[in-house]
Chains A and B, each alone.
Chain A
Amino acid sequence: EIVLTQSPGTLSLSPGERATLSCRASQSVISNYFTWYQQKLGQAPRLLIYDASSRATGIPDRFSGSGSGTDFTLTISRLEPEDFAVYYCQQYDSSPWTFGQGTKVEIK
């Protein structure tokens, strides 16, 4: 199975700053079937990005995804107070679908 490793584990930033989250796959995600989710405490995850770079419906354009092969990135251009949460990457190129362990974006 494809193992996804997210870095950093925790990102401490201030509102208005840029956040860059990374996810590395143990083998190439050939089809670019790659997603990012946001999860707030006590809530279900929310789809942000699919197919590596396509924003899901209703997601603000400050969220963007990029990457291919084994390295993928989620960028939040300017952090809003509601963006402080845990973010997970996920691949659906090869079954079983797998998730990264998460990156927590916290207020500095």
Chain B
Amino acid sequence: QVQLQESGPGLVKPSQTLSLTCTVSGGSIIIGGYHWNWIRQHPGKGLEWIGYIYYDGTTNYNPSLKSRVTISVDTSKNQFSLKLSSVTAADTAVYYCARGAPAEFDYWGQGTLVTVSS
């Protein structure tokens, strides 16, 4: 059974960089055919796809966030990571990592709330 777990700071100051890591267990991140995604949900709102990475480092980002987003992968640790720069209060959200098979999200992490505040 594949499991995903987000980790990282729950509080980030405005203008700083949000950094989260997703650790995948129960399956290898280098198995082809899967995309490894970040998705966020603003409090009480709907879902927003941030982007994905393939095990070989190929990425695809949402244009609305592309200038501030970097997703990377560490296959040796079976992890992938999200960096979102120049954050504002509008980036306060629950951040999920999810496996795309290849694009329907079949496994999700539990989500982690990141609050942007000074």
Contacts and interface: CB of A to CB of B under 8 A. Distances in A.
A56 B106 contact: yes
Interface of B: 46-49, 60, 62-64, 96, 98, 100, 103-106, 108-111
B46 A100 contact: yes
A95 B60 CA distance: 8
What's the interface size class on A, roughly? 20 to 34
Interface stretch (A17-25, A44-52, A72-80): A44-52
A89 to B, nearest CB: 10
A96 B103 contact: no
A37 B62 CA distance: 20
B106 A99 contact: no
Contacts, number: 51
**Interface of A, helix, strand, loop or mixed by DSSP:** loop
Contact of B104 (A44, A50, A88): A50
A99 B103 contact: no
A47 B100 CA distance: 11
A97 B108 contact: no
Interface of A: 1, 33, 35, 37, 43-47, 50-51, 56-57, 88, 90, 92, 95-102
Nearest to A56: B106
Nearest to B49: A97
A104 to B, nearest CB: 11
Contacts of A57: 106
Contacts of B47: 37, 45, 88, 90, 99
A45 B108 contact: yes
Contact of B46 (A56, A97, A101): A101
A96 B39 CA distance: 12
Nearest to B48: A99
Contacts of A47: 104-106
